[in-house]
Amino acid sequence: MIRWAKFIKLQGKFKMINMFSHIYSKLTALLLLSILLTMPLLVQSQEILKLEKEEEYSLNLEDKIEKYEFTLDFKLEKYTAITPGLEIDLGSAVLKIFACSGPKPKPGIYLYKGDDLIADNPLLVHVGHWYRLILHSDGITTTAEITALDDSIVGYVEIVPSLFIQGLAFDGEYWYYTATSMIFKVDKNGKIVDYNDYPIPKELREKGYFHLGDPEYHEGLLFIPVEKEGYVKPSIIAIYSAETLQLERYAYTQQDHLPWLTVDDKGRVYSSEFDPASEIYVYSLEEIGEGNELEPIDVIELDKPLRGVQGGAFYKGKLYFSVLDRKAYSVDPGKGVVEELIDLPVVHEMEGIEVYELEDGTLYHILVNTWGEENIVFHYRKIRSGETIKLFKVGEGTPIGPVVKIKAGTPLMIKEPKVGGIKTELLDPMLMYILGFILTAILVVLIIKKRKAPLQHLQ
């Protein structure tokens, strides 16, 4: 009986040891699994460095490299006026990123060898967003691309004549630009195919009407606002033939300023005052006759006023505005909620806006008056996180090193650049993750086996 009692007692101890060992093994496995899951973050995380304007960061490669892949994650915090926002001295060439207002220098990404420009792309990156620049050289050719690291907007810059000064519209084939007192019809190649240098009839000019605003195209017609000297009521909604650019009919409104017009799919015409614009006035297209007075059929209250509205457009249920604060906004007409959309690198005067998706994916088109010999149209499009844009390809190699210098032309954030092809470089993060996974799995198996072995011996 005594032996049997000792056996029962010993068996109980074995069960408790087995239970605690099992729990310990589970906890150990969970701990190792958590380490395994967080390993990619630990491996891929990089220190973020902030560079102030004119500050430099140097990367010592110890030697010149012919074949490599250079990678730099960066975020510009401000636009510049005429200088590069980011400059990368590779040793044999210099890459400059101009996030500026233009037209000279023109915004874009440029690769120089000495004083010679060997490649460029007129891409304008947006401040406040992360991008990854990748420069690859195989010793024979050099390619560059840029990848968005978050959802962002990028732009392309078009230089247009200084007469294109007030607004713009697009019908899918032709662009229409307004000067203060002229209308231009322009093909996709930028060639003027027609114009009207006296769009305001004599009887209206004699009443002081002189200023055309931002136009809109709708079903073969151009809707153009016309303002009076002193910018006093009544401003006019004028309708022109898009084919002939001749006036067809017009109506008077009770607005002092009428800087822009747009039309939705149901034939409702939208406009506002210039400053402040706290309401959007909605008119009926059918009520625009031969010089009659027009009253709004609806008024949309904005949740916050816009100061200095220059242009407006309607696209897929939303209103879009270009404003003198150098920003573009969107508004849900059903709610009146104002949302900031684009922050432009403009030191000049914002003018009209058109929203129309072109073949190259650009959607938002904003005219800027430089008060110089050339004006600018910024063509913007959305870019999703992970999307890559090819910048250029050069038919020659671009050696890098022995020292790479990164210079900030504006406050910016960078992560430590990487250069593939260096013998002392750490293993690729994904390879390290795979190795870590294998080692962790082996360790978990060994721990579990080790805990089971004594118990099997005791049993």
pLDDT digits (tens, 9 = 90+) for 308-319: 999 999 999 999
- Confidence bin at 340 (pLDDT 50/70/90): very high
Residue 26 has pLDDT above 80, yes or no: no
CATH architecture, range 48-151+387-415: Sandwich (2.60)
Domain spans of the chain, in order of start: 2-46+431-458, 48-151+387-415, 159-380
Q: Which of 122, 55, 59 is nearest to 89 (CA)?
A: 59
- Confidence bin at 441 (pLDDT 50/70/90): low
Give me the percent of the chain exceeding a pLDDT of 90: 79
| Residue-level pLDDT at 435 | 61
Q: Cα separation of 215 and 22, whole Å?
A: 76
Higher pLDDT, 210 or 431: 210
Residue with tokens 């050719």: 141
Residue 459 has pLDDT above 60, yes or no: no
Q: Cα separation of 336 and 417, whole Å?
A: 44
Q: What is the DSSP letter of 386?
A: T
Q: What is the pLDDT of residues 397-411, one digit of tens each?
A: 999 999 999 999 999
Residue 425 has pLDDT above 50, yes or no: no
Residue 398, φ and ψ in degrees, nearest 5: -130, 90
CATH number, domain 159-380: 2.130.10.10
Residue 5 has pLDDT above 60, yes or no: no
Q: Cα separation of 208 and 356, whole Å?
A: 33
In terms of residues, how long is the chain? 459
Average pLDDT value for residue range 133-156: 96
Q: Which of 123, 101, 112 is nearest to 344 (CA)?
A: 101
Provide the H-helix boundaries in 45-150. Answer: none
Enter the tokens of residue 208.
């002081």
Among the ranges given (34-48, 151-165, 237-251, 400-414), the one the predictor scored with the smallest mean pLDDT: 34-48
Among the ranges given (110-114, 321-325, 444-448, 451-455), the one the predictor scored with the smallest mean pLDDT: 451-455
pTM of the model: 0.82
| Residue-level pLDDT at 281 | 99
Q: Cα separation of 121 and 137, whole Å?
A: 18
CB 409 within 8 A of CB 171: no
Q: Which of 345, 341, 410 is nearest to 378 (CA)?
A: 345
CB 174 within 8 A of CB 143: no
- Confidence bin at 458 (pLDDT 50/70/90): very low
